[in-house]
């Protein structure tokens, strides 16, 4: 087995595991937890974490996810997915150079224009306890994201319910894994019904459900 995915399910490694499940790729999974989640990362019984020497040999940046594909090491979840799709081919991969450009464009757009606001919605509307929530960050996100939801909604209308190529691809996985952070703000999805239907369909896929079940089973 040449492909190894490093990272816990409760991280952006979920994106890579979902893609690997979709493509039927054989891989080894090495759970690596974020060091900030550990009360004492230097304890003798501490789990493998992002500052463990064993993991730093894979990714000196100390970030998850990372992969080792037969000696080729790569980091950044969106880049990993684009690489794995390109290498292994099939319907999830880009069919031509134009689709490669589109997959990269949509992935980078979601990462730069959506993700930080969507994460603020997830944490400050739902995940954090009330005393740690910052309403100002939620307000800023709710002001910034409608335009991004509208842009994706229009693209899905033109693409027959998918981001590119009229079919489910790596671009859908990369973008869906960012838009899901915004789910606590249901008003955003109500205003962009195609985005809501698309995300629901993405998350109804067996490969996503398998990844999510493993994530739920992982300690919080």
Query: Rounded distance, CA 12 to CA 169, Å?
Result: 18
Q: Does the pTM exceed 0.95?
A: yes
CATH class (in words) of the domain with range 3-91: alpha beta
- Name the nearest CA neighbour of 171 among 92, 113, 118, 98: 92
pLDDT digits (tens, 9 = 90+) for 105-141: 999 999 999 999 999 999 999 999 999 999 999 999 9
pLDDT tens digits, 145-169: 999 999 999 999 999 999 999 999 9
pLDDT of residue 220: 83
* DSSP strands (E only) in 53-203: 66-69, 72-75
* Position 217 confidence tier, pLDDT thresholds 50, 70, 90: very high
Q: Across-strand partners of 128?
A: none
> CATH 1.20.1050.10 residue ranges in the chain?
97-208
Q: What percent of the chain lies above the pLDDT cut of 70?
A: 100
The helix or strand, by DSSP H or E, that contains position 116, with its residue range, turns out to be: helix 115-122
Question: What whole-number distance in Å separates Cα of residue 49 and Cα of residue 182?
Answer: 27
Percent helix / strand / coil, the chain, rounded to 5: 60, 10, 35
Using CA atoms of 77, 113, 93, 79 in order, give the dihedral in degrees to the nearest 10.
Answer: -30
Query: DSSP states of 145-163 as a string?
Result: HHHHHHHHHHHHHHTTTSS
Instruction: Tell me the C-alpha distance between 13 and 165, whole Å.
Output: 25
Question: Which ranges in the chain are annotated with CATH 3.40.30.10?
Answer: 3-91
pLDDT value, residue 75:
98
Fold held by 97-208: Glutathione S-transferase Yfyf (Class Pi); Chain A, domain 2 (1.20.1050)
Average pLDDT rounded to a whole number, residues 71-81: 98
| Phi and psi torsions of 135, nearest 5° | -60, -30
pLDDT, tens digit (0-9, with 9 covering 90-100), for 26-36? 999 999 999 99
Whether residue 1 is predicted with pLDDT greater than 60 in this model: the reply is: no
């Amino acid at each position: 087995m040449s492909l190894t995915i490093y990272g816990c399910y409760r991280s952006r490694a979920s994106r890579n595991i979902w893609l690997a499940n979709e493509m039927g790729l054989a891989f080894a999974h090495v759970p690596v937890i974020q060091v900030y989640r550990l009360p004492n990362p230097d304890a003798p019984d501490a789990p493998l974490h992002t500052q463990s020497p064993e993991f730093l040999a894979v990714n000196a940046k100390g970030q998850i996810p990372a992969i080792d594909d037969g000696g080729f090491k790569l980091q950044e979840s969106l880049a990993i997915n684009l690489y794995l799709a390109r290498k292994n081919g099939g319907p999830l991969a880009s069919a031509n150079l134009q689709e490669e450009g589109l997959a990269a464009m949509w992935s980078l757009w979601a990462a730069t224009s959506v993700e930080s606001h969507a994460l603020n919605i997830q944490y400050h509307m739902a995940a954090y306890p009330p005393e740690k929530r910052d309403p100002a960050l939620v307000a800023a996100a709710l002001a910034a994201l409608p335009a991004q939801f509208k842009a994706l909604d229009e693209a899905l209308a033109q693409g027959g319910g998918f981001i590119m190529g009229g079919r489910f691809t790596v671009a859908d996985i990369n973008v869906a894994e960012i838009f899901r952070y915004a789910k606590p703000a249901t008003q955003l999805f109500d205003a962009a019904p195609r985005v809501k239907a698309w995300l629901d369909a993405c998350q109804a896929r067996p490969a996503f459900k398998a990844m999510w079940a493993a994530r739920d089973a992982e300690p919080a």
